[in-house]
Amino acid sequence: MRLIAGRYAISAELGRGGMGVVWRAEDQVLGRPVALKELATPPGTSLDRVLREARTAGRLNDPGVVTVYDVVSEQGATFIVMELVVAPTLADVVGREGALANDRVAALGLQVLGALESAHRAGIVHRDVKPSNIMVLPGDRVKLADFGIARALDDPGLTQTGGVMGSPGYMAPELFAGAGPSPASDLWSLGATLFHAAEGRAPFQRTTTAATLHAIMYEQPVLERCRGPLADAVRGLLTQSTSDRLTAAGLRRLLETARTAITDSPTQAVDPASLPTIVFEPVTAKVAAPSPTTVDWDRRPKKRRLPLVLGGVAAAVVAALGAIFLLKPDTPTPVAVGATSTPSTTPAPSTTASPSHKKSPSATPSPTSSTTAKPDPAKVPLIRFHQKDGGHFSGTKKVAPPSGFTKEGIFGSLVATAEPGTRKLFACKVKNEKDWFTSPDQSGKCEGQQALGLLGNIYADPPSGASARALYRCNAGASHFDSLDAGCEGKKKEFLMGYLVL
């Protein structure tokens, strides 16, 4: 048995990470179990800094914070003595149960917010709020852990070496731009954590760290399950501008409302298995995106080709990589629209040029259709597929993808038969090119290209009595694809095609 400082008897290892090893131990003086964090000093960080930050964390006294009892040294090693909390993390809970109910997420968020408010009043920022640092005890009581890298706002004795401490996927954009940590940056991290809990996935998860950082700096994540006041809270927190970001007081009001709000239609059963549970693979542009396609649905489609550019592949890729941190996009990414149960939630106005088109008489809802239309019981799931070279295809059980495509996930559902307020949606292909696209061209002639078949019927406006989500047609330059993201995953948005039901 290893005895630390003559009183802490280590019995087992609880875990280890970048900040060191955590041991289970017993305080033989007070007779209580404790956790000992044996610190590993990060590169470029002095031991004095770590000790000062540990003492800072010890100033906190809040039921939502893992308490720091003591800091001791033994044979050249430094230990932070903490309250022992044996419970799964929020990341564990979501990994086991999937996306959590909105009211539950709001209740958990209120507790984390309370812990952060206590820290901020003491002049302390956490700097690493994320699902794996939130312990979920029985009864959904919450403990915010690992203030070990917290820094006192009023501590001028600490110097930085230019490193960024924390978890990139949950860190606020201003930190990567050189700003110091602040209460506002903690609230951003809480917003990313609430997104993770409500959606079942990290908001800015990408295949590379560079892509993740670019998404944090310039993109808005797509909300699919998060609705109502909780969705407003998440969007209000995940705002790049700190001056526009929700304050703690504003966040508390929204979370208190979301904790008791009923945001799902009680008459609409949703099969969780039919909902997307993965992050769609980012679309890779081979060339610079061309101008949006202009479509006039009142006229017969003319024989034409969708915009395609075949040169400059290597130059575009190199330029894109170099611009991730150096160039901000010319226009801000529009706020993405998630699933909603009320027709009042509409896509945010796009800052890119959208096609000028008019609805044909057959696609125009009757005066009462937008408020009385009910989804047909016979639904047709719309699935997104991709192939290795970057091509995408949207298909259904009626129109299967060409060979070589892999399923990514389900957008939502079309309805099998036409109803008031719906219009036909077709699978199409550019003639003589490996470019598949989806079209609401009511003539069925796919805008003068090759028609592959009728996918189903899509609502022109959000239907009443059912949860719905917007579907956009996007252009990656050499290929087209469909997306739930109003910002088209960073590519060129052509237009809103309609609304899918859940």
Task: Judge whether 460 and 488 are in contact, CB under 8 Å.
Answer: no
The H or E element spanning position 370 is: helix 369-372
Dihedral angle, C-alpha 150, 152, 156, 162, nearest 10 °: 20
Label residues 266-282 b or e (16+ Cβ within 10 Å = b).
eeeeeeeeebbbebbbe
128 is catalytic: yes
Task: Judge whether 41 and 90 are in contact, CB under 8 Å.
Answer: no
Query: DSSP 3-state assignment of 338?
Result: coil
For helices 183-199 and 102-121, give the axis angle rounded to 10 degrees: 160
User: 68-74 and 77-83: which strand pairing?
Assistant: antiparallel
Neighbours of 164 (CB within 10 A): 12
The C-alpha angle with vertex 53 and arms to 185 and 109, in degrees rounded to 5, equals 40
Give 194's DSSP letter: H
For the purposes of burial, counting CB atoms within 10 Å of the CB of 313, is it exposed (0-12), middle (13-18) or buried (19 or more)?
A: middle
Catalytic residue among 27, 62, 103, 128: 128
Question: What's the rounded Cα separation, in Å, for the pair 322 and 320?
Answer: 5
Strand partners for 494:
none
Pick from 165, 203, 158, 157: nearest CA to 181: 165
Express the helix, strand and coil content of the chain in percent, nearest 5 each.
25, 25, 50
At 310, phi and psi to the nearest 5? -110, -10
Residues with catalytic function? 128
